Amino acid sequence: MTQAQERRIDHSRAPYAEALRRHAEHDPLMFMVPGHAATASGMSRELADFVGERALRHDIPQLVDGIDAGRDSPLEQAVALAADAWGARRAWFLANGSSQGNRMAVIGVGTGAAGGAVVAQRSAHSSFLDGLVVTGLTPEWVFPEYDSRHGLNHGLTPAALAAGFERAAAAGERPCAAYVISPSYFGAVSDIAGLAEVAHAHGVPLIVDAAWGAHFGFHDELPAFPASVGADIVVTSTHKMGGSLGQSAMLLLAEGPFADRLDPALERAYNLTQTTSASSLLLGSLDIARRSLVLETERIGESVALAERLRALVRSHPQLTLVSDEFANYASVATADPLRVSIGLSRSSCSGYEMRAELARTHDILLEIATSSAVVAFLGPGKELDVERLFAAISEVLGRPAGRAAAHSPLRLPSPGPRRMTPREAYFADTEVVPAAESVGRVSADALAAYPPGIPNIAPGEEITAEAVAFLREVAASPIGFVRGAIDSVVDAFRVVV
């Protein structure tokens, strides 16, 4: 077995999932929740038809003996196996995605920090901002490198993070953590060891949002998982690239200089954020995903080879480029996720939006994301996806007679407005909703981020600028325009502090 990470214990078991199976085999008579009573009879027929009868049998409540009650329960064993698999000291199984993980991480580092600051990558997911709202911590933003040709953001260099710490010091702020995102949505991986060194030199832990990197470290050709190269807290959406069910995720605490302090703080943050009815199906899927990732290295290698085959096909087409072939031009990109193939269309007369829509409409092929001049294909680890079919379909769309509305020039990201309040002050302030035209110069109570690339253009507490309003409305009007956090889909109004 060739494994990128050294694992200390036997991973052939999936103790929690196996306990659920044993429970289902007993077929107990259930006078308890869930109301479907784990059978397909009566009113549950349609539900059983929808998810499968077995799913109902495995859907049980918490605190059942022999499954998750007591010390060293099968659930505890499963969580310990996960910590080992991802190279961490401790893991938490989350039922509300990396969104929960980010909130937990910020609450964890904010415990005892009494309103300090987090030196943070500006392309943070909105759940990071939620953490700031909950804790009252302030962000010292560091902008990621931006690829204006394709409209994508990459990561941070250690030097950029260090500059963020210097700005925080100059502003009299007391950082309690650094926060970065790696990999990016488009597969750019930052120098985590270098970033951790910077954070540690300033006496604080490094949080890595690795929502898109749950598969890292499970094959020699995949980048290392951040917990094994210096990150202190790592949040990952196991459901994205780790193969577990939607919504299931993990927070990993690495064995590092801050682990003893962070461990109880994160446990408290977990209790603050986790439902008291975490789905056994989600938790069981995490246990199974971990075992598959550790044991099925060969299959992961096959997916990596398939992705390489797709890259070779893309390079052979005169109208296509590979976004990752240009990663070397960006100092913040240390390496790339091989299972993500970002295809550049700037040599063609087809926009990324149009390509993605046409592949879905006429070829029944769904791609993860599009920008104005790129589309991104994800290859799930261990999956055998037909890359020849994808390439043939892309070639067919490109070969159609011209006449499409080309949309190559990515929108220019607006600079953020000045910060007038902390995110927490703005969020909890008295607010009103005003028309877009009247919002300029007011303080936003919400976070708004245009997708892609998903960098929050306005954070709570920042002044709304005319440039940001125009940008967000233009994005909202574009073919796949989406502004997360907006009050309405066309961004006609903003929630501002009274």
Ligand X SMILES: Cc1ncc(COP(=O)(O)O)c(C=O)c1O
- The residue ranges that bind ligand X (CB under 6 A) are 97-99, 102, 125, 127, 181, 185, 209, 211, 237, 249
Q: Residue 465 and residue 439: Cα distance in Å, rounded?
A: 8
Q: Which of 131, 119, 126 is nearest to 156 (CA)?
A: 119
Residue sitting closest to ligand X (CB): 97
Nearer to ligand X, 106 or 398 (CB): 106
Nearer to ligand X, 252 or 350 (CB): 252
Question: CB of residue 98 vs ligand X: minimum separation in angstroms?
Answer: 3
Q: Residue 156 and residue 145: Cα distance in Å, rounded?
A: 7
- What b/e sequence results for 238-254 when a residue is b if at least 16 CB atoms lie within 10 Å of its CB, and e otherwise? bbbbbbbbebbbbbbbb
Nearer to ligand X, 212 or 471 (CB): 212
Question: CB of residue 451 vs ligand X: minimum separation in angstroms?
Answer: 9
Nearer to ligand X, 68 or 209 (CB): 209
Q: In what order do the strands lie in the sheet with 448-451?
A: 456-458, 448-451, 482-484
Ramachandran area for residue 37 (φ above 0: left; ψ -120 to 50: alpha; else beta): left
Question: CB of residue 211 vs ligand X: minimum separation in angstroms?
Answer: 3
Question: CB of residue 222 vs ligand X: minimum separation in angstroms?
Answer: 18
Nearer to ligand X, 98 or 332 (CB): 98
Nearer to ligand X, 413 or 496 (CB): 413
Q: Residue 193 and residue 441: Cα distance in Å, rounded?
A: 40
Question: CB of residue 64 vs ligand X: minimum separation in angstroms?
Answer: 26
Question: CB of residue 340 vs ligand X: minimum separation in angstroms?
Answer: 13
Nearer to ligand X, 127 or 332 (CB): 127
Nearer to ligand X, 99 or 371 (CB): 99
Q: Residue 9 and residue 355: Cα distance in Å, rounded?
A: 46
Q: Which of 261, 119, 101 is nearest to 180 (CA)?
A: 119
Q: Which of 82, 162, 176, 134 is nearest to 422 (CA)?
A: 134
Nearer to ligand X, 317 or 484 (CB): 484
Distances (CA, A) of 331 to 160, 199, 334, 410: 10, 18, 7, 21
Nearer to ligand X, 244 or 431 (CB): 244
Question: CB of residue 395 vs ligand X: minimum separation in angstroms?
Answer: 30
Question: CB of residue 199 vs ligand X: minimum separation in angstroms?
Answer: 18
Question: CB of residue 181 vs ligand X: minimum separation in angstroms?
Answer: 5
Q: Which residues 6+ apart lie within 8 Å of 362 measured at CB?
A: 393, 397
Nearer to ligand X, 127 or 348 (CB): 127
Torsion sign (Cα): 87, 90, 93, 99 = negative
Question: CB of residue 245 vs ligand X: minimum separation in angstroms?
Answer: 11
Using CA atoms of 325, 329, 332, 337 in order, give the dihedral in degrees to the nearest 10.
Answer: 10
Question: CB of residue 377 vs ligand X: minimum separation in angstroms?
Answer: 17
